[in-house]
Structure 1
């Protein structure tokens, strides 16, 4: 079976966009434990790919491989058309891969500006206070983020606003790929809508976006494609416009002998499925 997270029949001309990320046969082992096995994934500019799967499916490991926390055990990673290595978090940033982890890593006692520029005190990003404040507003405006002041402490912000700051910080070095790890986890309805609007803005800006999520409503709201991992392996790639939540859940849980598993194995769009 050739189950893959790449090259689906995508809607809206996505196949014509530049492929920013291409994984082929990526595996990650921790001793005798295989966390990822022969994973393929393509992500294009101006595309949101939701990566879904049950607990232990390999989603977090995939994020850490792409963000340089863990080096892949085997396989190839191509970024913007060339094969690369991502051995450290700094190498991921240098390539143009920015990751917003679920814990956000914000300092509650510091204001928005300080959080955006934390750990960038050294050249080439060193700026004076005025320049940092101006740049902060530029980043937040780019996202249409609802932040009342860049001098407000992070502790005073809502969950959605905190996510806005974390995503704005990820844009500081003008990345081509943004990875969002469960960006709406533990948020209310209004805050979730706020964050999903941020994801839409990233796509409109032409960025490639990987969104890890357990929430199928969120996935269907913003994703162009849904890529399923199961037990560390590819288990389907679907057009979010056409696939149903039930079909995705079937791929997540490993249901067999049904339309979704047969389609995933052939990597065909829903419209071509025989009835």
Structure 2
């Protein structure tokens, strides 16, 4: 009996080792669309400025510590879910403009192995636009990307904007929270529709609304001391214990935390496949031993 168990466990271990050591990561790259929460330097025109004090979450996610793949970042600070960017005074660079631009100019770089991340909606809130329309815009962007051939998506929900330093304690706090909730509700329904339309695709999601609420409720658990103030206009001090870099943007430490949750949200297809094969082999081996 012990020998049987040893062989079974060893078989499964070999499957897991093979999945990580031989195949490595299943995603070939990360392609990012969205606003300043994902922009790694497009808004300044030089690829330098992040809307934080360091790397943003997708930069961490693409780094050797995580997926270890190239990052192609189309996100643009100030982008709405539509086509425009009122914050920059532009009629373009919005989410759907980004998608159209990529498909028109880089159509040869479409692959089912690319992980596509989409995070937008906050600037629609800032402009007082309809959360239903904003969620529909995100669905349109996802649908166009899926129709083009992309199959792996990470769709980020909107955090509780009412809890940010920009809105906390103001007359707009409750409205910002409610807008975020409605947007997320509409977005969840749209993602569910897309899963039905494209059953072979993966539409992963990350609930940043509940995550932000959890961090603010118990900051010490997540390594933060200050979750109510922005760090940017302080004369000096350590940013590592601050959740917010400015009125609405996280510190790079918060982005790093977010990357950990994003990593957990996007299981790598090849690893999961080989694990499944290993488990099937395990079942087969068990039957063989029984016979």
Would the TM-score normalized by the shorter structure come out above 0.5?
no
TM-score, with length taken from structure 2: 0.27
**Structure with higher strand content:** 1
Scaled by the length of structure 1, what TM-score is found?
A: 0.28
Greater percentage in helix: 2
